[in-house]
Amino acid sequence: EVQLVESGGGSVQAGGSLRLSCLYSGLPSGDHDMGWYRRAPGNKCELVSIISTDGSTHYTDSVKDRFTTSQDNAENTVYLQMNDLKPDDTAKYYCVAGGLGFWRLGSGYRPCGHPGMIKMTVWGRGTQVTVSS
């Protein structure tokens, strides 16, 4: 059974930094993608970043040049370093594991509520990030 446990959330002022961690276990052998998603109250679920088994990464436009995702296979951990945080970054952040490309749908992103997303992924319980102005 795949399990994902996020940590590292908290409250910071705008311009501050946080590093989120996702400790994973039970991932099957083979290639996979690990993602960070976020959901703010009243807002839709949003992809933040992806890191693949080969180390390649993808970021949504709003976090490029501010957030960096990385992985430590020896520690079974995926990280999200968040710098220059803004109030719009306030959300609950979720670690997600799935097969290669689970986050794509055609030329865009697969919506969080898409049946394929539900079928193909495992989600952690999330960690809250609050950024004050």
Over the stretch 12-55, which tens digit does the pLDDT of each residue have? Answer: 999 999 999 999 999 888 889 999 999 998 878 999 999 999 99
pLDDT reported for residue 124 = 97
pLDDT digits (tens, 9 = 90+) for 4-16: 999 999 999 999 9
- Could you report how far apart the first and last alpha carbons of the chain are, in Å? 40
Task: Determine the Cα–Cα distance for residues 38 and 21; give it in Å rounded to an integer.
Answer: 14
Q: Please name which of 63, 61, 57, 59 lies closest in space to residue 85, comparing C-alpha atoms.
A: 63
pLDDT reported for residue 128 = 98
pLDDT digits (tens, 9 = 90+) for 60-117: 999 999 999 999 999 999 999 999 999 999 999 999 999 999 999 999 999 998 998 9
The helix (run of H) or strand (run of E) holding residue 37 is: strand 33-39
Q: Please name which of 18, 15, 14, 8 lies closest in space to residue 82, comparing C-alpha atoms.
A: 18
